[in-house]
């Protein structure tokens, strides 16, 4: 009688100790054969890989609207990891309480000051517009033209100035048209302020949620990434170490650049007779916003000086900002980042400028990180090729 191998057989009866039949035979196990189709052996692995890629793409698409929040939360969690370990020891290993405390500290010491800085800069932008309107209505254009005309200029420059200022009314009409267009642009931008504010608050909320998760489940996240990674352990350590080093350098470079730009701004304001202490402190925080931050400090003061008739001080402060304050950032920030990123200063400068042009303000972070990690990957690829040739 034929027995179907997929059917389970009953285990044989074991003999009792008093039985004369000898020791009980070993229990034999029968294997169950899987009912698979003829395409299984050929297409199983490619199909599984295809499904895995589709799952990764779908997962990435779901996270794409929160990409900045995820990336910044991962960076903050990496930088806060030493503090997390010490705090977890004090909390007797309670990872959720530790993550909650660090998340709240991030909100209080990083996000809320950033919101306060944004409010201050927005008020300054309003002051710029108001002072500019007053200066224009009081005949500031004519006063500026008279002051430039009274200067002892070279003949070639005098000809250009005379042609430019030949018709003050035309200049006023051109400025009025420009102001009108700018006003329309500000009105159109203001209509979306509510929506942009809501989106910003939502992104901040998601950043805090991801930060809490990364801090609380750090070990599980790291273990999962290592299981999915096709790299060798020493290669993973090299990438993680370089990422941490670059982030520490970016943080140090940002703080150093902010302090030096704040000091340089305070010196310039002291020279023109403006309170340097308060605006120097604001400049330290505003320097974290590339291009726009320091402009919202210097431009209002320049307009204020022009409106008050101090044209020489206004032009001096404008030149000081463009030639001194801006140059400090281009020197100090790459100098600090180049050490941790292990890149030449020129490459750091290229990565910062390229990152800002490609990613916006966050390019100050994304640019150096991308450049450094790309070079690490290039190095690992070369080492892997040489290892295969000379095992």
Spans of all domains in the chain: 66-226, 229-391
The DSSP-derived string for 74-138 is HHHHHHHHHHHHHHHHHTTT-HHHHHHHHHHHHIIIIIHHHHHHHHHHHHHHHHHHHHHHHHHHT
Tell me how far apart the alpha carbons of residues 297 and 301 are, in angstroms, rounded to a whole number.
7
List per-residue pLDDT tens for the chain, 391 residues long: 444 444 444 444 444 444 444 444 444 444 455 666 677 777 888 888 899 899 989 999 999 999 988 988 988 888 888 888 888 888 887 888 888 999 998 888 777 776 666 666 666 656 656 666 666 666 666 666 666 666 666 666 666 666 665 555 666 666 566 656 655 555 554 555 455 667 777 888 899 999 999 999 888 888 888 888 888 888 888 888 888 888 888 878 878 888 888 888 889 888 888 877 777 777 777 776 666 677 777 877 887 787 667 778 888 888 888 888 888 877 887 887 776 666 777 787 888 888 888 887 788 788 888 888 888 888 888 877 776 665 5
* Nearest of 49, 362, 54 to residue 203 by alpha carbon: 362
Q: To 10 degrees, what angle do helices 233-272 and 276-286 make? A: 150
Tokens of 87: 């705090």
- By C-alpha distance, which of 302, 315, 317, 337 is closest to 266? 317
């Amino acid at each position: 009688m034929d027995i179907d191998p997929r059917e389970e057989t009953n285990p044989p009866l074991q003999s009792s100790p008093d039985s004369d039949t000898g020791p009980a035979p070993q229990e034999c196990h029968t294997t169950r054969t899987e009912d698979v189709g003829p395409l299984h052996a050929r297409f199983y692995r490619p199909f599984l890989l295809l499904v895995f890629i589709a799952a990764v793409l779908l997962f990435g698409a779901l996270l794409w609207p929160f990409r900045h929040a995820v990336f910044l939360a991962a960076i903050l969690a990496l930088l806060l990891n030493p503090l997390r370990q010490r705090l977890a020891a004090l909390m007797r290993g309670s990872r959720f309480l530790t993550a909650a405390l660090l998340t709240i500290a991030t909100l209080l010491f990083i996000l809320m000051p950033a919101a306060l800085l944004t409010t201050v800069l927005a008020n300054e932008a309003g002051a710029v517009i108001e002072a500019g309107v007053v200066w224009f209505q009081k005949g500031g254009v004519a006063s500026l033209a008279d002051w430039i005309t009274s200067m002892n200029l070279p003949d070639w420059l005098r000809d250009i100035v005379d042609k430019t200022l030949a018709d003050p009314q035309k200049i006023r009409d051109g400025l009025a048209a420009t102001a009108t267009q700018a006003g329309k642009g500000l009105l159109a931008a203001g209509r979306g302020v509510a929506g942009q504010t809501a989106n910003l608050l939502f992104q901040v909320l998601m950043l805090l949620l991801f930060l809490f998760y990364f801090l609380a489940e750090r070990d599980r996240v790291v273990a999962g990434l290592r299981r999915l990674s096709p790299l060798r352990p020493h290669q993973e350590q090299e990438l993680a170490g370089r990422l941490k080093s670059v982030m520490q350098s970016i943080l140090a470079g940002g703080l150093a650049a902010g302090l030096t730009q704040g000091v340089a701004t305070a010196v310039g304001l002291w020279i023109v007779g403006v309170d340097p202490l308060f605006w120097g402190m604001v400049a330290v925080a505003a320097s974290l916003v590339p291009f726009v931050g320091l402009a919202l400090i210097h431009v209002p003061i320049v307009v204020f000086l022009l409106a008050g008739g101090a044209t020489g001080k206004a032009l001096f402060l404008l030149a000081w900002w463009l030639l001194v304050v801006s140059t400090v950032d281009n020197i100090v920030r790459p100098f600090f980042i180049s050490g941790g990123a292990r890149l030449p200063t020129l490459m750091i400068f290229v990565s910062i400028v390229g990152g800002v042009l490609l990613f916006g303000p966050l390019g100050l972070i994304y640019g150096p990180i991308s450049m450094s990690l790309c070079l690490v990957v290039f190095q690992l690829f070369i080492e892997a090729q040489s290892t295969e040739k000379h095992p």
